[in-house]
Amino acid sequence: MIGGQWLIIGKLFFLTLVKIKKVVTFTNPNHSSPITNYKGKLTMKYKGIIFDLDGVICSTDDYHYEAWQKTADSLDIYFDKVINNRLRGISRAESLEIILERYDGKMSDEKKQEVLNYKNDIYLQLLEKMSIKDLDPSVKKTLETLKEKGLKLTIGSSSKNAKPILKKLGLGDFFHDISDGTNIQRSKPHPEVFLIAAALVNLTPKDCLVIEDAHAGVEAAHAGGFDCAAIGDAIDNPLAQYKLNEFEDILKII
């Protein structure tokens, strides 16, 4: 009888060890690609997810590119896709400073403001054609699944146009809260936008996963103490813990 009890205790101890080993394998933050090495869902690693907007939830990054291209052309400044990628996640005003690196001469603050308004007007015109149809069905489905699982979902975007964009996509009331270009002093790579997003839903950085397409955004997540899943342009950023080939790969992480 006593021998039988020891056998059961031993078996339980062994099973516990196996479970701990699996959790450690899955949660190892130094792992470069946990998705491909995923061992099985044991527990939810995060309580919240903070989504970047442009280039993650929607393809407005293409509209930013088009608007900046037209703006640069109007000033006779060279601009291309490589330069555009440096603007991802960066505020409108800081983006202009990067574009002006190739400007011959010095631009007054009044003229800069005029150029910023010009760019935003073109961008807003491009947004006019956006509708609920521009929300990728797999993005919508993934967001709904994450919400059903009880995760707090927030936006962490540098854009001052984030709220109208979400409304156009039919996501105006979907997220638990929104942190965007209208409530921050410093844009990515500063972590402020993500720290505010986490605080809005009473979570700590350790509880949240950030989803980002910009190197500046991945750096911001890292600086704030958040784990990050990188997609698109930033997919190979070594500061990100996960790579997302598809948006729905988020479901393999949490």
Write the interaction track for Mg ion spanning residues 188-227; mark x where CB under 5 A is met and - where it is not: -------------------------xx-------------
Question: In this structure, what are the phi and psi dihedrals at residue 241, rounded to the nearest 5 degrees?
Answer: -80, -25
Site for Mg ion in 22-61 (CB under 5 A): 52, 54-55
159 binds, among ligand B16, Mg ion, none (CB under 5 to 8 A by kind): ligand B16
Cα 90 to Cα 181: distance, rounded to the nearest angstrom: 10
Nearer to Mg ion, 55 or 191 (CB): 55
Q: Are residues 50 and 226 in contact, defined by beta-carbon separation less than 8 angstroms? A: yes
Out of ligand B16, Mg ion, none, which partner does residue 222 contact, by CB within 5 to 8 A per kind?
none
CB of 240 to Mg ion, least distance (A): 13
**Cα separations (Å) of 247 from 98, 147, 150, 242?**
29, 15, 18, 12
CB 85 within 8 A of CB 60: no
Which tokens hold the place of 4?
A: 């039988």
Q: Which two tokens stand for residue 12?
A: 């339980």
Active site residue 62: no
Q: Which of 63, 72, 88, 243 forms a contact with ligand B16 (CB under 6 A)?
A: 88
Chosen residue from 181, 190, 251, 252 binding ligand B16 by CB under 6 A:
181
Contacts of 104 (CB under 8 A, 6+ apart): none
53 binds ligand B16 (CB under 6 A): yes
Contacts of 240 (CB under 8 A, 6+ apart): 212, 218, 221, 228, 229, 230, 234
Which of 34, 48, 55, 232 contacts ligand B16 by CB under 6 A?
55
Residues contacting residue 145 through CB under 8 Å, at least 6 positions apart:
251
Among 71, 122, 152, 157, binds ligand B16 (CB under 6 A): 157
Q: Beta partners for 50? A: 154, 210
Q: Any idea how long the chain is? A: 254
Q: Is 71 in the site for ligand B16 (CB under 6 A)?
A: no
- Considering the candidates 54, 61, 177, 227, report the single residue annotated as catalytic: 54
Residue 160's binding partner, choosing from Mg ion, ligand B16, none, with beta-carbon cut-off 5 to 8 A by kind? ligand B16
Considering the rule CB under 6 A, would residue 218 count as an interface residue with ligand B16?
no
Question: Which CB sits closer to ligand B16, 140 or 160?
Answer: 160
Residue number, 192 or 213, with CB nearest to Mg ion: 213
Pairing status of strand 242-244 against strand 227-231: parallel
Q: Is 54 a catalytic residue?
A: yes
Q: Give the active site residues.
A: 52, 54
